[in-house]
Structure 1
């Protein structure tokens, strides 16, 4: 073996993750709202990007061979629609047919079309009524005064001096449900005041509206409301101290502990049920985050229409006229390189967004094709589906399909669903026929339990027998797993709950 230095020539292939490729992969996994935020950042950094359209002198920077296609996309850059031909018999056929130049698709989003692509959500009516007298959705979404503001207003009217400062510190530790978080002893040590004084201030706060606010536990919250209603007698106190027995529906032990008969216990439980366990939730706080659909699906006479929700995506073009003006002026080498980078970045971003739109619609269209029975007849007809099946059908990698279905929602006539919802495991059929979806089995379990008789609660073994009769080959442990995943208690728990409900 020679140890002398020498030169070797080797040839190899490797995939280099360029920044542009990383950006494309990142955008694919983002929802429409996240993409909108990303575009806003790019608009601030790149002066050649224009979200309003750049006029007649701002064509998209695309190769000449693709100019015709990009001209149609420029008219509707946030719009990608596909009709899913219901007559396609094989997955290998071109079941998706795009006609971006069609007149019906010349709009910014699904909610702008007359017929509506909102899957029956009624968004078109809302969009069409946004005139002078239209509803103000901002005011509708805005909440009222927060719980902290409501409590501080009452504290200012009933507490003064140093106690008002202590009250402000206590109110600051009350969560949105109305419960005091943290230790009152720690707060007293931090403020360097006696614990008894803090407890006195807390006692005043606990008299504020809403009743039960400032409690440190559920028992204390219910006790405060019982005192306000003048129902806090020794029997009610013992009932509130044994809420675990109330939850389990152990009526026999509760009667012995409280020393009452069946009628009095039923009356006490009825009173207890009328109290609010979360008194602070009735006040405004952070507005709930609404889910915006990324894809609309609607039934058409010739199949299914699948369209992106372009309402959340702004028009994005390259301002060619501005680029020409800047290029014509005096420039040094660094400025020319920077301008060239901005043009290349803008060009790549527009192409990446278009590719993202096409990929999402392609995946969504295949999901609709595979799960057509669900869109027609409901969750009971949801088929088992994996990412690999969709990836093979549309000739893409499985990881690409996974990114497309992450954090994205589909709106149809049956409601709003996450794209991941349509991918479920398979449950074998009892008669050896076609396997069924796990979601369909969960729906059947939920329906059987909802229809069960209070005097004849269905055990897991009985559920297995009923499901087998419906054609589901499922084990008892699987039934228990699905039942627990849906938050449904065991037969013993359900029997006690129904007994408690019957007593009230």
Structure 2
């Protein structure tokens, strides 16, 4: 068969996603921190964007795009029916049609606001600063000081040393014996005791040595902490020669130690959760859903500045640049507006479906999937998935990740309504918390109790949920209770 080249014309349709459309999709799944970072980057690149005030703008509020209706001011949920808008939703930023002054009133200064006395108060030192100060007091000068500072750089947030002695010695060009001597001196003198330990057993051993309670029996127990965690006192008696009463005293002493001494200090990498949605009880007994204005960047287009710049445009290149900036600014304003509306719509549907949780707690949580919420609000499942990613809802029962409310359904044993997996886990925890000495429930016992309550759950599923909750097995719980009884 001969091969030849031919030209053919074919007509087809394809969905092409522009870079701006892709970015709009990414905006939905951005967390509060990521969104603020993205908006700050856009403001730095685009001279037409300004940060708006948290309240109403100078002209009574940002104008809406021409031909588009004003967004709803909020959503009130009365019982299981959505009532007319009642909550106060921050008005979205207006596009180019919104009049803004170019005098700089829209550009916020990072130093604006009063400097309160609380900002002048001394803060607790971080672990790194505390350790460096201790090193300078313990080791006065010379090569040993450099070794101590190098070791301090490799402490984790718990205060443990996470680097090999040989690696430090190689990087500083000294003998491992010298590094080991400096480390031993720091472990002996530094406060709090336990810093610079390389393992949990070494950390506890350092603290016991400071209390003059480190002996061969204690050393043998620290070498077998896994047996102590399982409360396997039979094996510990065989290894140490101590009776059960002596092991109880050792257990009580170890419980009084600090396994993570570094946690007493401030860590710079801690982040505060900022809820995206507030849920409060309405005057009519329903639930009021509001967006958190602090989690919504206020971005406006400075039209006065735009008009002034246009008057001075001389070249086609400058005109094209200004047009591109205006288009990008309008797109960002509209995207942030759409993002706020979508979050509010999804949160309102979640609250409507989880009325039982808000009234009764985890026991009233109902099974819910992304697909069911997407069908109810007329969106795609992937959109709901992006909206609920790294978003938080502040409710009267605490602040929760939006994904917390999405759980699988567990069939009812008597043919009634399905149960939420989270509510079943909560019930398992309550059964375990109610256990007493001599009445420890096995996984089969828990499954039998749940079945009587109308929850059809297999024993292996009970074991899976128990392990997910961090609850030890019935054998370990029984040993723990016996140990507490003997220690009391």
Q: Please report the TM-score for the alignment, with normalisation by the length of structure 2.
A: 0.87
Q: What's 1:323 paired with?
A: 306
Q: Which structure ranks higher in relative contact order (CA pairs < 8 Å, sequence separation ≥ 6)?
A: 1
- How far apart are the structure 1 equivalents of 2:464 and 2:43? 49
Q: 1:4 to 1:411 in 2, by over 3 A?
A: closer
Q: Quick check: 1:188–1:195 contact (8 Å CA) kept in 2?
A: yes
How far residue 133 of structure 1 moved from its aligned partner, in angstroms, is: 11
CA distance in 2, matches of 1:478, 1:452: 20
In 2, the alpha carbon distance for the partners of 1:164 and 1:59 equals: 60
Going from structure 1 to structure 2, the CA distance change for 1:276 and 1:50 (only over 3 Å counts) comes to: same
Quickly say closer, same or farther: Cα 1:444–1:330, change in 2 above 3 A: closer
Q: Tell me how large the CA RMSD over aligned residues is.
A: 2.9
Matched, 1:448 2:431: yes
Change (3 A) 1:6 1:31: closer
Structure 1 residues 337, 376: closer, same or farther in 2, change over 3 A? Answer: same
Aligned residue pair count: 460
Mapping 1:47-446, distance limit 5 Å: 47-52=47-52, 56=59, 60=63, 62-63=65-66, 65-66=67-68, 69-70=69-70, 80-86=73-79, 88=81, 95=82, 97-98=84-85, 105=88, 136=118, 144-159=124-139, 160-207=141-188, 208-302=190-284, 303-446=286-429
Distance in 2, matches of 1:401 and 1:206, equals: 52
Q: Are residues 324 and 55 of structure 1, via their aligned partners in 2, closer, same or farther at CA, if it must alter by over 3 Å?
A: farther
Describe the shift of the 1:270–1:379 C-alpha distance in structure 2 as closer, same or farther (beyond 3 A). Answer: same
How far apart in 2 are the matches of 1:419 and 1:472? 25
Change (3 A) 1:497 1:326: same
Deviations along 1:419-475, whole A, 9 cap, x unmatched?
A: 111111000011111111001110100100011112221100000001111110111
Contact 1:62 1:347 in 2 (8 A): no
Q: How far has the Cα of 1:196 moved from its partner? A: 2.5
Cα distance in 2 between the residues matched to 1:57 and 1:499: 69
* Offset, 1:8: 4.6
Deviations along 1:238-295, whole A, 9 cap, x unmatched? Answer: 2222222211112223233322333322222211211111122212332521111001
Residues 233 and 9 (structure 1 numbering): CA distance in 2 closer, same or farther, change over 3 Å?
closer
Give the superposition deviation at 1:194: 2.7
Is 1:23 matched with 2:10?
A: no
Helix, strand or coil at the partner of 2:335: helix
Q: Distance in 2 between matches of 1:52 and 1:240?
A: 59
Give SS of 1:105's match. Answer: coil
**Partner deviation per Cα, 1:128-169 (whole Å, 9 max, x = no partner):** xxx989783x678x8522333333323323323222222222
- CA pair 416-58 structure 1, distance change in 2 beyond 3 A: closer
Are 1:80 and 1:361, in contact at CA under 8 Å, matched by a contact in 2?
no
Question: What is the SS of the residue equivalent to 1:416?
Answer: strand
Unaligned runs of 5+ in 2: 93-112
Residue 108 and residue 59 in structure 1: after superposition, are their counterparts in 2 closer, same or farther (change >3 A)? closer
Distance 2:246 2:313 in 1: 93
| 1:98 partner SS | coil
Shift of 1:310: 1.0
8 Å Cα contact 1:184-1:195 kept in structure 2: yes
SS in 2 for 1:480: helix
Quick check: 1:178–1:280 contact (8 Å CA) kept in 2?
Answer: yes
Q: Distance in 2 between matches of 1:158 and 1:281?
A: 22
**Residue 455 of structure 2 corresponds to residue 480 of structure 1:** no
Which shows bigger deviation, 329-338 or 200-209?
A: 329-338
Normalising by the residue count of structure 1, what TM-score does the alignment of the two structures yield? Answer: 0.84
Aligned counterparts, 1:2-13, within 5 A: 8=9, 10=11, 12-13=12-13
Structure 1 residues 378 and 155, CA, compared in 2 at 3 Å: closer, same or farther? closer
Whole-angstrom CA distance in 2 between matches of 1:478 and 1:494: 19
Partner of 1:41: 41
How has the CA–CA distance of structure 1 residues 494 and 134 changed in structure 2, closer, same or farther, with 3 Å as cutoff? farther
Taking the aligned partners of 1:495 and 1:395, their CA distance within structure 2 comes to: 51
Partners of 1:21 and 1:497 in 2: how far apart? 57
SS of residue paired to 1:163 = helix
SS in 2 for 1:206: helix
| Counterpart contact for 1:81–1:307, Cα < 8 Å | yes
Instruction: Assess, with a 3 A threshold, how the Cα gap between structure 1 residues 374 and 262 changes in structure 2: closer, same or farther.
Output: same
Question: Do the aligned residues in 2 keep the contact of 1:57 with 1:320 (CA within 8 Å)?
Answer: no
- Distance (whole Å) between structure 2 residues aligned to residue 325 and residue 253 of structure 1: 84
Kindly indicate whether the alpha-carbon contact (under 8 Å) linking 2:393 and 2:399 is maintained by their aligned counterparts in 1.
yes
Deviation at 1:23, TM superposition (A): 1.9
Secondary structure at 2:174 match in 1: coil
